[in-house]
Amino acid sequence: MSDYHHVAEIERVLDGAVTGRDGFVSASWRRCVELYGMDPTRRDPAHIVTEAELREHRVQAERMIAAARSSLKTLFRQVAGQNYVLLLTDAGGVCVDFFGDDLFVEELRGAGLYLGSNWSEDLAGTCGVGACIVTQEPVTVHQDDHFGNAHTGLSCTAAPIFDSLGELAAVLDISLLRSPSPKRSQNLAMSLVTNAARRVEMANLMAEGRRDWILRVSDRPEFLDIDPEAAVRLDGAGRILGYTRGARRLFPDGGGVLGRRIDEVLGMTVDDLPDLMRDRPSEDRMIEMRDGGALFGHAIAPQAPRSALRSARRGGPLAGLTQGDPAMTEMLNRAARLARTSVPLLVCGETGTGKTRLARALHMAGSAGGFVMLDCAGLTPEALRQGCAGARGGATTLLLRRIEDMPEETMVALSAILDSRNDLRAITTTCVAPDRLELPLPLFHRLAGATLSIPPLRQRRDLSWLVNLLLRRRAPEDMRLSPSARAELLGRDWPGNLRELEHVLDVAIALCEGRVIDQQDLPAPVTMVSGSTEAEEPLEQVMEACGWNMARAARRLGVNRSTVLRRLRRAGLRPPT
């Protein structure tokens, strides 16, 4: 079509005529004139951002570029020899990755089919990337569908790529400098580009979901493991944390996808996920949908972050006590430095937090000498003297457990021993906060050269890692936790800390009949035996008193959190907004 006819058609469209163009093209032409004030007769050159701006756009899009690389390479191989150019743009239309034939680089750069070109509609007029950003749908903008005369030779097919929260993150465009005339010649390009965009979304979801369950679904069992249609990322309660665009079909009611529970639409709960893992034939992994349909599912279990585990091990006996909990890491860094000195150390923390374990690790990290451990409860001066007498011939660590339980006369003896024996290095543990510890001041200063505090388990961010660690150590190798059992463990308050967790796991391992520990295999929290207060105190009142904190209310009622949740639902109660 000549420039003249192109401009004339745009004028007719603006006057309201229907000229046979796709509706989104006519709508874009209108925006170009009425919104952006563009003139189709101008031959504006391509808009290219500066080198510095391009670097910034690439940094911002780094994750998506990485997720897209392999799909782009495959797509480029599929169209090899047909002169197609692939562009990955960010959500603003700036090209941040490019695959094209090196022979035509100069021509491609001139046409804007290159790194750094900006294809947003308000700059470039009607174009594949721009129309895709506006409509958020796959589009082909073919030859004189383009608004500006400069681009009417191109054929561009573009598909949107959404991030796992459902926001437009990028556009994948496949373009030709020269193409056959009928628009339908690009149907195959459309199919290739939409499939590639779906795979990029999948790669992105997989990359960010290593610590969560991933459920991939497909209508056809043969594609399930190699090229599924959609996927969701789930927490231990089965709530959707992220999704690929295709997963919207699971929730066609338009109520959004994030935060919804998978059992709202599928005839399965989160506890059935292990049955959908790869060790089963894909035909057996059928999931019924609540609307009567069926899908095939492939569940991928959360993976432990291995590199972090390795680095913890490299750091010796102290570093292995946490995996990335900020308070523990900071405390252990101090501990590592103090371990090599002779400063007496006071280790504080609630019962069962691992004070004795830490004290042993401090000894191992700092001293090649002997080790004496004494429980302070009921310790007589004589027993103390005997214990210390056994430690002769070089620097010895004297571990005193629970100093608050030491009888007063033994405290006096201890001060005297510490004064006369500078080969003893005291490490003392206590469940009492240092400022509340009732020790004679001289003894306190002989024991607490520095204080190390271990946080309670309920505050630790590496609780999930600890659960895995203890399970691995205590259970048969192939035993695992169901997602809801894991969610329950992560939600408890753990007044007995690691010791209580060990006992809960031991009971669950003993009670569990198969290889999967289920929520009902877990013993109730210990506070339950003290009896429920529900009869005396109405639920709403309890919730108010606990500031609507589920864990606190569960403790007060002596039940677990899911029971509180169930009772709230039954009573139709909700937290005040």
Ligand X SMILES: Nc1ncnc2c1ncn2[C@@H]1O[C@H](COP(=O)(O)OP(=O)(O)OP(=O)(O)O)[C@@H](O)[C@H]1O
| Positions that interact with ligand X (CB under 6 A) | 321, 349, 351-357, 401-402, 429, 431, 469-470, 498-499, 502
Q: CB-side exposure of 430: number of CA atoms within 13 Å?
A: 22
Q: What are phi and psi of 334, to 5 degrees?
A: -65, -45
Q: What are phi and psi of 152, to 5 degrees?
A: -70, -5
Judge whether 317 and 343 are in contact, CB under 8 Å: no
Residue in the structure block whose two tokens are 């004496």: 372
> Smallest gap, in angstroms, from Cβ of residue 501 to ligand X?
8
Find all residues with CB under 8 Å of 74, minimum gap 6, and list them: 196, 199
* Cα gap 368→397, rounded to integer Å: 10
Whether the CA torsion 222, 191, 130, 19 is positive or negative: it is: negative
> Smallest gap, in angstroms, from Cβ of residue 442 to ligand X?
24
**What distances in angstroms separate CA 500 from CA 349, 376, 402, 427, one per listed residue?**
15, 22, 18, 24
Comparing CB distances to ligand X, the nearer of 248 and 357 is 357
Helices 463-474, 497-511: axis angle to 10 degrees equals 50
> Smallest gap, in angstroms, from Cβ of residue 377 to ligand X?
10
Comparing CB distances to ligand X, the nearer of 162 and 465 is 465
* Cα gap 528→493, rounded to integer Å: 13
> Smallest gap, in angstroms, from Cβ of residue 360 to ligand X?
8
* Cα gap 134→179, rounded to integer Å: 24
Residue in the structure block whose two tokens are 């003993």: 510
> Smallest gap, in angstroms, from Cβ of residue 267 to ligand X?
39
* Cα gap 440→298, rounded to integer Å: 63
Structure tokens at 148: 């500006």
Select from 216, 209, 376 the least CA-distant residue to 282.
Answer: 216
> Smallest gap, in angstroms, from Cβ of residue 397 to ligand X?
15
> Smallest gap, in angstroms, from Cβ of residue 427 to ligand X?
11
Comparing CB distances to ligand X, the nearer of 32 and 312 is 312
* Cα gap 272→238, rounded to integer Å: 10
Comparing CB distances to ligand X, the nearer of 28 and 429 is 429
What SS3 state is found at 245? helix
Comparing CB distances to ligand X, the nearer of 110 and 407 is 407
> Smallest gap, in angstroms, from Cβ of residue 365 to ligand X?
14
> Which neighbouring-strand residues pair with 218?
296
Comparing CB distances to ligand X, the nearer of 378 and 575 is 378
Structure tokens at 367: 């001293």
Comparing CB distances to ligand X, the nearer of 47 and 499 is 499
Comparing CB distances to ligand X, the nearer of 396 and 430 is 430
Judge whether 504 and 536 are in contact, CB under 8 Å: no
* Cα gap 412→400, rounded to integer Å: 14
> Smallest gap, in angstroms, from Cβ of residue 481 to ligand X?
16
Comparing CB distances to ligand X, the nearer of 72 and 403 is 403
> Smallest gap, in angstroms, from Cβ of residue 396 to ligand X?
20
> Smallest gap, in angstroms, from Cβ of residue 114 to ligand X?
54
> Smallest gap, in angstroms, from Cβ of residue 372 to ligand X?
16
Comparing CB distances to ligand X, the nearer of 151 and 486 is 486
Comparing CB distances to ligand X, the nearer of 270 and 400 is 400
Comparing CB distances to ligand X, the nearer of 21 and 401 is 401
> Smallest gap, in angstroms, from Cβ of residue 560 to ligand X?
22
Judge whether 62 and 148 are in contact, CB under 8 Å: no
Q: Cα 486 to chain center, whole Å?
A: 16
* Cα gap 552→464, rounded to integer Å: 20
* Cα gap 103→109, rounded to integer Å: 12
Comparing CB distances to ligand X, the nearer of 219 and 502 is 502
Judge whether 155 and 184 are in contact, CB under 8 Å: no
* H/E run at residue 240: strand 240-243
> Smallest gap, in angstroms, from Cβ of residue 359 to ligand X?
8
Q: What are phi and psi of 453, to 5 degrees?
A: -110, 130
Which residue sits closest to ligand X, CB atoms considered? 354
Comparing CB distances to ligand X, the nearer of 262 and 359 is 359
Select from 14, 302, 339, 25 the least CA-distant residue to 151.
Answer: 25
Judge whether 571 and 540 are in contact, CB under 8 Å: yes
Residue type, 165: L
